[in-house]
């Protein structure tokens, strides 16, 4: 088979696909991952008794906004990079701005804190299990995407 014949064969019967098919597919995978991680949180760690009071604080909403911004930026990048010849677009800018905002706010909180409290602020009380919990909660999203 010659190259021209192969190109002709590959080009026959080509039908256009939905422009948003990739975004829909990844969007569904992200939703499945969020639901799976939420079920894991409730089943393994349980619900906080003071969730209503905590949800009135800015820190609570910042903890929700951080992963959502990363998800949105990653979704923007993946849908563009999955197409040949496309650049990453503004998704990388959103991810970079989100990470920079968290780093800057963390530096500010540490700078205004009492020096004796800084180590406990960095490590917290759950530093031994936090990385394991993050890995466990990322498994449903990993499975859903792949």
- pLDDT of 5 > 90? The answer is no
Which run of H or of E encompasses 22?
helix 21-40
Residue 14 lies in a domain: no
Domain count, the chain: 1
Q: By residue range, what is the domain housing residue 80?
A: 20-145
The pLDDT value given to residue 32: 95
**Residue 12 maps to a domain:** no
* pLDDT at 16 exceeding the cut of 90: no
Residues 35-58 as b/e (b if ≥16 CB within 10 A, e otherwise) read: ebbeebeeeeeeeeeeeeeeeeee
pLDDT score of 14 more than 80: no
Q: Give the mean model confidence (pLDDT) for residues 66-94.
A: 89
The CA distances from residue 120 to 1, 56, 117, 124, 125, in Å, are 69, 24, 6, 5, 8
Q: What is the mean pLDDT of residues 79-96?
A: 88
Task: Assess if residue 89 is contained within a domain.
Answer: yes
CA distance 117 to 23: 44
- Asked if the structure places residue 1 within a domain, the reply is no
* Whether the Cβ atoms of residue 74 and residue 95 lie closer than 8 Å to each other: yes
**Do 76 and 82 touch, CB atoms closer than 8 A?**
no
Dihedral (CA of 109, 112, 114, 119) sign: positive
Q: For residue 82, which of 135, 145, 141 has the smallest C-alpha distance?
A: 145
């Amino acid at each position: 088979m010659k190259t021209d014949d192969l190109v002709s064969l590959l080009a026959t019967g080509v039908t256009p696909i939905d422009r948003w098919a990739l975004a829909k597919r990844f969007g569904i995978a992200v939703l499945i991952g969020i639901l799976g991680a939420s079920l894991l949180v409730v089943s393994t760690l349980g619900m906080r008794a003071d969730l209503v009071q905590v949800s009135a604080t800015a820190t609570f909403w910042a903890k929700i906004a951080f992963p959502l911004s990363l998800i949105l930026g990653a979704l923007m990048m993946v849908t563009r990079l999955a197409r040949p010849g496309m650049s990453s677009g503004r998704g990388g800018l959103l991810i970079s701005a989100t990470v920079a905002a968290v780093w800057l706010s963390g530096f500010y909180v540490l700078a205004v804190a009492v020096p004796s409290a800084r180590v406990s602020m960095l490590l917290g009380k759950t530093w031994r299990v936090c990385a394991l919990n993050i890995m466990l909660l990322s498994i449903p999203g990993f499975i859903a995407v792949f």
